[in-house]
Amino acid sequence: MIQLFFDLLAICIVARILLSLTGHNFGRIYQFVFTLSEMILGPLRKILPKTSVDWSPFAALIILEMLGKLINPLVFFIVNGQYGRILPLFYGVFLSMLSSIAVILIIIFIVKIVNDVVKGDNYTLTRVLDAMTEPMIVRVKTKLSFRHRRFAVWIILALLIATEVFLKYEMNRMDL
């Protein structure tokens, strides 16, 4: 039941993202989704560093996923006195969080690559993608020789995919 609650909150945040992309106000549905999601996103915006991109929906989705995976087993282990299983649970949830971050970044970089290849006409999308990816790209470019700098986006994507594969392997090894 607790997992369902967190899943519904995550759906509300995704709905807010999709509704905001359309730019239309859909009346009561929009107002309900906005009000409910703002109770989660508002405090996160105050904590997260100010950037040109609002990272609060991504952070909220990751936190909700973590809480959904953590609370039920944690309560079960405490009630049944299985304290030895708590530390592996936290490790598994931590790996899951890292995996979620990697997947979000993989999606962002794939969309950026596609947008760059098709010479995206959507200025807003291009601007947002550049704001999201440029800090990582600049750091990687400084580590590469001049002739390899044009491959920075592809190198980042490959490293993110390798990270995701490793995290999945580690979670499977732990039977998570």
Q: What confidence score (pLDDT) does residue 176 get?
A: 57
pLDDT at 55: 86
The sign of the CA dihedral 12, 18, 20, 25 is negative
Predicted TM-score of the model (pTM): 0.77
Last residue of a domain, one of 49, 81, 113: 81
Each residue of 77-122: pLDDT tens digit? 999 999 999 999 999 999 999 999 999 999 999 999 998 888 767 6
Q: Final residue of a domain: which of 36, 62, 81? A: 81
- Same domain for 70 and 105: no
Residues 47 and 91 in one domain: no
What is the extent of the structural domain holding 74? 1-81
The pLDDT of residue 16: 87
Buried b (16+ CB within 10 A) or exposed e, 74-88: beebeeeeeeeeeee
What pLDDT sits at residue 23?
67
Residues 116 and 145 in one domain: yes
- Kindly give the parts of the chain with pLDDT less than 50: none
Q: What is the pLDDT of residue 124?
A: 74
The answer to whether residues 58 and 108 belong to one domain is no
**Whether residue 96 sits in one domain with residue 56:** no
